[in-house]
Amino acid sequence: MPRGRSPNRDKAFEIYKQHGGKITNREIAARLDEDEKVIAVWKNRDKWNVVQQKKKERCTTKSRGGQPGNKNAVGHGGTGPPGNKNAVKHGAYEQIYYEALPEEEQSLFDSIPDSDDLNGEIRLLRLKLSRLISRGDITTFDMFGGAHTREITEAEREKGILEITAELRKLIKTKKQLELAVLKAGGGEPDETDDDGFMEALAGTAAEDWTDEE
């Protein structure tokens, strides 16, 4: 049977809120005599960062305009250029700007299950892997939101697939370790792991693509 929810889980969040989010997992763990990894999992699952950010947004009336004289937002209604998703990026291959994706790729991204921040990173990498295998070109964006499309070489495709696959395996391994730590600490049942055969299926497709090129 699954274990009950640890009372320290709510206490940890209260400590986090009291410090305005400016406290490390290690400090919280020390105060509650918990494993630091357990605190990290609670933080991800309960989305502490999101809750804290929403609280800050409700408490401020400051506008989101740029600095005086900053012309980067001119022509875009005072906000950043369309498709500018600075927070949605990963170093494995290329920046992803969700709004700039074609509808079919947005649907693909939305169809990949998500339950916490770590899974969100896994979703982004899965989308990148799918794009690398299925598309013949890539689109990148400069700091002003300008789109630049060019053909992707097979060397770039293979290198990108290897990098993303390695990063995916690393994230999935980390997710398993964190969930196991929570389970041992009495935090309940772990979530379902994202390693559902997706990578193996894409690996097979990639192998076929490379064979066709020979």
**pLDDT tens digit at each of 214 positions of the chain:** 456 688 899 999 999 999 888 888 889 999 999 988 888 888 888 888 776 666 665 655 454 444 555 544 444 444 444 444 333 434 333 344 455 566 666 665 555 544 456 677 777 778 777 777 776 776 777 777 788 888 878 887 788 888 888 888 888 887 787 777 667 665 555 555 444 555 555 555 444 544 444 4
Residue 23 burial (10 A CB sphere; 0-12, 13-18, 19+): middle
Residue 162 burial (10 A CB sphere; 0-12, 13-18, 19+): exposed
Written as one letter, the residue type at 58 is R
C-alpha 142/C-alpha 175 separation (Å) is: 33
87 to each of 1, 69, 84, 111, 151, how far by Cα in Å? 39, 24, 9, 20, 25
CB 139 within 8 A of CB 133: no
CB 62 within 8 A of CB 76: no
Instruction: Give just the sign of the alpha carbon dihedral 37, 38, 39, 42.
Output: positive
pTM: predicted TM-score of the whole model, two decimal places: 0.34
C-alpha 34/C-alpha 186 separation (Å) is: 11
The pLDDT value recorded for residue 130 is: 77
